[in-house]
Chain A
Amino acid sequence: MDAAPNLEVLIFDSSAYTRSLLLERLARLANCALHAHATWTDKPLEKLLANTSVLLLNHHATDAPPFDFLRQIKRTVPHCLVVVVSSPGAPRRALQALHTEQPCIDMLFDKPIDLERLSEFLTERMASLRQQHKLNSEHLNLLRFLPTGALRRIFAQPTPGSAELFDMTVMFTDIRDSTQLIVRESARAYFANLNRVLASQAELIRRYDGMVVKTTGDGLLAVFEGAARCHLALKCASAIQHSAEAKSTPVGIGISDGLVLTGILGTAQHFHFDVIGAHVHLAARLCSKAAAGEILATQDVASKARFEFASQPLQDAIEVRGFNQTVPCIHIKV
């Protein structure tokens, strides 16, 4: 079962007496952390409100008008639920007018208040906020599985077997001599190290606007889209080879560019995004030939990249099914 997130409730009340009453009564609310202050004027508001889900202001007629404060809250933390308790009459009318002019109060209670009603209201709204937080978190997690850029339109109709052709740069990475590493370390330690290396690569791929399609055992398959895709892929490959993780766990990288079929494979119960095609095979082949710390790419990728780097032609002829003749490739020095 998911643990309910702990929501922070911030109380502002200039009277120590009523502040303590509110703290006492609201302490019964489940899964929330209460914080109370006499005033907001001597505190850095952004820091104070950073984790606040609910703000409760018990406004006294003798307090300074809270108008700027309430406006600032909605500007700083628009998701924060703002509840104000005020005396009826002039104070309430002033707050009501402010809210009409610029909505900044989610609920206005008249004093004296029925604390049962206030507690019920807060309980209900906090349950709704928790549900919203949970959905946001799930949404963010789901986005991590989804393709980026133009590829995302495939998910408008996620039908297994549907596919589209895209011009893409395909990059494979693979840890060199992983068998020796597995033998040398415990399986658990190897797995943790593998995750660290792949996470670092994935971070760099995202930084260079690429997308991780999948992990491939000891490496990753990633694609880059757009006019600068070859340039970005080579810069990314270079960054991966220069990373601290690659120094301790060397990898080989293969890169190719061309038309790739992208789509969804699987059944209605389980499916995943994938890319297939001759250039995927070619990039995989180049990756398998790349030594530790090496980047092998097609000459085509290097020409399109407009990227200043030292390279030398690859002596071995690379033959891949789907290509009529051998593909000129280069070895990039990083």
Chain B
Amino acid sequence: MKNQFSDAQLSHIIDQSLIYQCACPAQVAKHLIGLRELYEYQQNCINQTATDKAVHQRIAADTLRAHGALEECLYEVLFLEEWDMATLTMPASLQKTPRNF
């Protein structure tokens, strides 16, 4: 699996978006991690029959396609939201200002 974003970069994006309400890129990053886990999981499955092999190939191919599409999506979202693409830092304008603190 070729990655545009490393695992550490995805975690870094998620860490900056603690809560649901301001976490669109984090939600995408979370699903990318899920797809990577799915891909890794099925890679370790045993192919005992021809059907097994076909099933795992299908899952791998579709996971890769979905992963590629979501990585593109994440890149576009970060660009649209004007994240610092070098450090993957959320722009201050997107940070919620907590009240009373």
Interface residues of chain A, those whose CB is within 8 Å of chain B, are 15, 17-18, 20-25, 27, 58, 60-62, 85, 87-91, 110-115
Contacts and interface: CB of A to CB of B under 8 A. Distances in A.
B15 A62 contact: yes
Interface residues of B, number: 26
Contacts of B100: 24, 27
A interface, by DSSP: helix, strand, loop or mixed? mixed
Given A17-B95, A24-B100, A27-B100, A115 B11 contact: no
Interface stretch (B23-31, B61-69, B74-82): B23-31
B36 interface: yes
B18 A61 contact: no
A140 B27 CA distance: 49
A20 B100 CA distance: 9
Contacts of B34: 88
Contacts of B36: 89
B95 A112 contact: no
A137 to B, nearest CB: 33
A15 B15 contact: yes
Contact of A111 (B17, B99, B101): B17
B30 A88 contact: yes
A90 B98 CA distance: 29
Nearest to B98: A24
Given A20-B101, A112-B17, 7 more contacts: A23-B98, A24-B98, A85-B18, A87-B10, A87-B11, A87-B14, A111-B26
Given A24-B99, A89-B36, A112-B23, A62 B12 contact: yes
